[in-house]
Structure 1
Amino acid sequence: MRRFYHAVAISCLIASPQVFAWGNHSFPAYRAFEKMPEVAEAAPVQVETLEAFLKAEEKPLEALLASQEAWAASNIDKYPARPSVLAFKAEPNRSDDARRLAFLSALRVAPNSKFALYYQPDPLRPPANPTMLPHAAVNTLPETPNSTYRYVALKPGEMVAPLAVIASASDEPDYGLDINLFDDSPSDWGKVYGFGAQPFGNPALPYATQAPFHMGFMHESSILYTAAPFIKRTFPLLRNYQYATLSALAFRTGHPYWGWRFAGLSLHYLQDLTQPYHARLAPGNSTAKLLGANILAMAGMSGMKDGMVILLSNRHLALEKYQTELLQNAAKAKQDTPIEKSLRNSDQDSKYPAWNDTYVRDTVAAQSAAFGAQLADLLVAAMPPGYVSDPDFDFGVKESGINLVNELAKREPADRAKLDAAIADLLGHFGAHSRNAVRGILKASGNQ
């Protein structure tokens, strides 16, 4: 019973309603790949609907999705088996809608996911007079204030650059694909997908229901795992593997559009874990402090725990907003800052282990988790105290009216420079790991 109460208290530390790691992933993804020959110099590919791909490759997909399930059972801790009724079976006579639903159900993603034909334009090179899609045509989640999303319509048969496809798709899992997938979610599909109760976060908040798929606490102390074993129930490795192997299959079978698009989808989960607030339960807080806050909360004194929750959320959101503003401002001004250079820099790529099925856990998440305490200290030093050190301030509520670049211009230049350098380092990891993942996918597909 004592362990149960620890778990309940610790679960409250993961409470941010929005769990985006790097804002709009397409912004840094364009920079990460714009000098990678395998992507930037790849020939344009023909746009194809998801339904056309599924119909053409039913039998290979049946075998692949079965192999994905076997891999997950062997490689993912606390993996909840997919109900056998959801297995994908080739049925050539069914309708396109039925086949699509069977595919999404076998992946266990939200069946109302759009998978529209679109791309997000490079903010550094916007297209002239594009045909735009409304937010709701691409994304099932509500449009947020000051949204950076811009969706350019594509048509089947149209030619598009692989760079645009992979950069755009790297942002797509934040468009509702992982929403309401648990037993206690307010959806029909969550009750049949077999993921169990939501391990952390608030099931009533739509954004929060995707958190266990976009966060991975794989490098915490054994004490925390004993007190709160549910924090191991995270699934970014599953999603990364599912989409990476789908990408390799699409390339092998002559569907390069979906090869690049699935590659981008797989990258999203890796990229999320390069952000320390997605790879550590509470960056900057010791295990002893976490357990101490929980003990006090169990005794009816929840002030310390509640304050930690707010500060973690505020720092997470402030980091994301500041990084997005930096990239947006640089693109508008046509500036090549240290962040853009770090994203493109491939010098570090070969210094990491060769790509493998557990690279996301053993290399990406481990590196990010180790960066957590340093990042928390830099945020506290550089940001206005009210935003990141005041538990009575809710950054998420006030975010749309805050310009962090302007705010930090008033702060100590040396502290801001250190934070900017840390963000450049982290986005350098984002770029290097993304490129290594693509090399792994292309190798698996026989294209490298």
Structure 2
Amino acid sequence: MKNLAFALSILGALSTSPAWAWGNHSLPAYRALEAMPEVANASPVIAEPLEAFLKAEEKTLEALLASQEAWAAANLENYPARPAALAFTAKPGRTDETRRLAFLSALRVAPNSKFALYIQPDPRTSSAAGNLLPYAAVNTLPEPPHSTYKFAALKAGDPVAPLSVVASAADEPDYGLDINLWDDSPSEWGKTYGFGTLPFGNPALSFSTQAPFHMGFMHESRVLYMAAPFLKRTFPRLRSYQYSTLAALAFRTGHPYWGWRFTGLSLHYLQDLTQPYHASLAPGDSTTKLLWANALAMAGMSGMKDDMIVLLSNRHLALEKYQTELLENAAHSKQDSAIEKALRNTDKDGNYPEWSEHYLRDVVSTQAAAAGPQLVQTLVAAMPPGYVSDPAFDFGTKEDTINLVTELAKVDPAARAKLDAAIAELLANFGAHSRNAVRGILKASNR
């Protein structure tokens, strides 16, 4: 079996709607890092436009981006080499706009990415009053319905708390940075970046084109990889490494604002992979079940496959919506729940190996993939059956009309408590791994 059509169907379905791993990453990032003295007690830094950083460090960036490419070629399986024409070369006489474009092209991120000067104020401690930016000033994607995002403008030279910089940037990769980067994308840049065709999903849908950079299927069975080799064409490790090494360089060269900003960007991909639905193809379903459903579909009996795809999508979306509601409710009420306490809890930090360039694969995604089967059982037991156990129901089309906190208040309190505890455990991992990554970046920068 050269190609597992079922896996393609699963990933196509899961990547056609904006299923972010943890909703707005800034909320849990604020809670996780406010417990870390190296961040919370760090002196304010001065906001600096990206163009100023690039101009000041053009030669060091040339060397760093070359070393990133060498690392990726040596360490990432199925890595598509960056076209030689995209290499970043120092050219002091060029314009700021041309230099910026060269930098973003060398990273192979969307060249229309905003990289505005802004923060997301912490709703727990700030009313976000003041000079607010429109959504489109920060994000190239359409504003979602019922958006609660608020962006406060910074000016060059403004002092800003590192906690605000890094927590805000932890959500930024969802603002269009990884959109339309493929040969078959409806963009000019995708056709020059060399990533090949989109490995799964619909290239005409922006959320599909982002998914391979925010999901990583690193612990599937050998049989599944043989049947579906495209599962290995995901690149969160690339992005994490690019931004973490940029952060260390920025710190070392006297640009602490960009040190913290790149740190937050790097954290996003690690945080995505603490979510089991981003770290494994089909949490709770065995390889045997996947192969059997695929075989039936190839024989003209697609019912089992179709039902599994709907249930996977519904469960993924329901989990993310529920934890987002819990975090937002706690932030706006300024009251702790078990989730906030878990995010701040540093007791687990020392239970993991020291941060390294392989930590995301060897520690983060390994843990999340292993947690998947039990999480699915807990989720199904707690959620209303119509939302997560009925393949005739499409959660994605009804999501805006559903309040899961209200719905789960009506179910078995023991089942809900078990789900809340499972989410708290996942977010405890989110917090511990985020702090360990920050420690690793600071160590690499000699801070």
Same fold at TM > 0.5: yes
Please provide the CA RMSD for this pair: 0.8
2:357 maps to what in 1?
A: 357
Residues 7 and 281, structure 2, Cα contact 8 Å, conserved in 1: no
2:387 maps to what in 1?
A: 387
Residues 6 and 290, structure 2, Cα contact 8 Å, conserved in 1: no
Distance 2:50 2:303 in 1: 49
1:3 maps to what in 2?
A: 2
1:35 maps to what in 2?
A: 35
1:78 maps to what in 2?
A: 78
Can you list the C-alpha shifts for 1:246-265, whole angstroms capped at 9, x where unaligned? 00000000000000000000
Q: Which runs of 5+ in 1 are unaligned?
A: none
Matched ranges for 1:117-136 at <5 A: 117-127=117-127, 129-136=129-136
1:96 maps to what in 2?
A: 96
Can you list the C-alpha shifts for 1:392-419, whole angstroms capped at 9, x where unaligned? 1111111111100000000111110000
Q: Give the match's secondary structure for 2:339.
A: helix
Distance 1:129 1:244 in 2: 32
Distance 1:192 1:446 in 2: 36
Pairwise CA distance, 1:76:
0.7
Q: Give the match's secondary structure for 1:308.
A: helix
Which residue, 7, 12, 22 being the options, matches 2:9?
12
Distance 2:391 2:188 in 1: 37
Pairwise CA distance, 1:330:
1.0
Residues 78 and 233, structure 2, Cα contact 8 Å, conserved in 1: yes
Residues 19 and 211, structure 1, Cα contact 8 Å, conserved in 2: no
Amino acid corresponding to residue 140 of structure 1 in structure 2 = T
Can you list the C-alpha shifts for 1:183-239, whole angstroms capped at 9, x where unaligned? 111111111100011111221211111110000000000110010011011100000
Q: Give the match's secondary structure for 1:211.
A: helix
Residues 121 and 128, structure 2, Cα contact 8 Å, conserved in 1: no
Residues 216 and 235, structure 2, Cα contact 8 Å, conserved in 1: yes
Pairwise CA distance, 1:129:
2.6
Pairwise CA distance, 1:240:
0.1
Worse-superposed segment, 289-298 or 263-272: 289-298
Residues 344 and 431, structure 2, Cα contact 8 Å, conserved in 1: yes
Distance 1:284 1:176 in 2: 31
Distance 2:409 2:335 in 1: 18
Distance 2:255 2:185 in 1: 34
Distance 1:208 1:149 in 2: 22
Can you list the C-alpha shifts for 1:11-59, whole angstroms capped at 9, x where unaligned? 1111222241000000000000112100000000000000000000000
Residues 179 and 210, structure 2, Cα contact 8 Å, conserved in 1: yes
Q: Give the match's secondary structure for 2:2.
A: helix
2:157 maps to what in 1?
A: 157
1:416 maps to what in 2?
A: 416
Can you list the C-alpha shifts for 1:53-85, whole angstroms capped at 9, x where unaligned? 000000000000000000001111110000000
Residues 46 and 257, structure 2, Cα contact 8 Å, conserved in 1: yes
Worse-superposed segment, 330-339 or 437-446: 330-339
Worse-superposed segment, 325-334 or 149-158: 325-334
Worse-superposed segment, 203-212 or 154-163: 203-212
1:61 maps to what in 2?
A: 61
Pairwise CA distance, 1:88:
0.3
Distance 1:149 1:280 in 2: 29
Amino acid corresponding to residue 394 of structure 1 in structure 2 = D
Q: Which runs of 5+ in 2 are unaligned?
A: none
Amino acid corresponding to residue 196 of structure 1 in structure 2 = G
1:441 maps to what in 2?
A: 441
Amino acid corresponding to residue 167 of structure 1 in structure 2 = A
Amino acid corresponding to residue 66 of structure 1 in structure 2 = A
Residues 343 and 428, structure 2, Cα contact 8 Å, conserved in 1: yes
Matched ranges for 1:28-427 at <5 A: 28-127=28-127, 129-427=129-427
* TM-score w.r.t. length of structure 1: 0.98
Q: Give the match's secondary structure for 1:152.
A: strand
Distance 1:19 1:240 in 2: 20
Residues 19 and 320, structure 2, Cα contact 8 Å, conserved in 1: no
Kindly indicate whether residue 23 of structure 2 is the aligned counterpart of residue 23 of structure 1.
Answer: yes
Worse-superposed segment, 82-91 or 392-401: 392-401
Residues 274 and 430, structure 2, Cα contact 8 Å, conserved in 1: yes
Distance 1:376 1:250 in 2: 41
Pairwise CA distance, 1:9:
2.8
Pairwise CA distance, 1:148:
2.6
Residues 9 and 298, structure 1, Cα contact 8 Å, conserved in 2: no
Runs of 4+ residues over 2 Å off in structure 1: none
Residues 19 and 208, structure 1, Cα contact 8 Å, conserved in 2: no
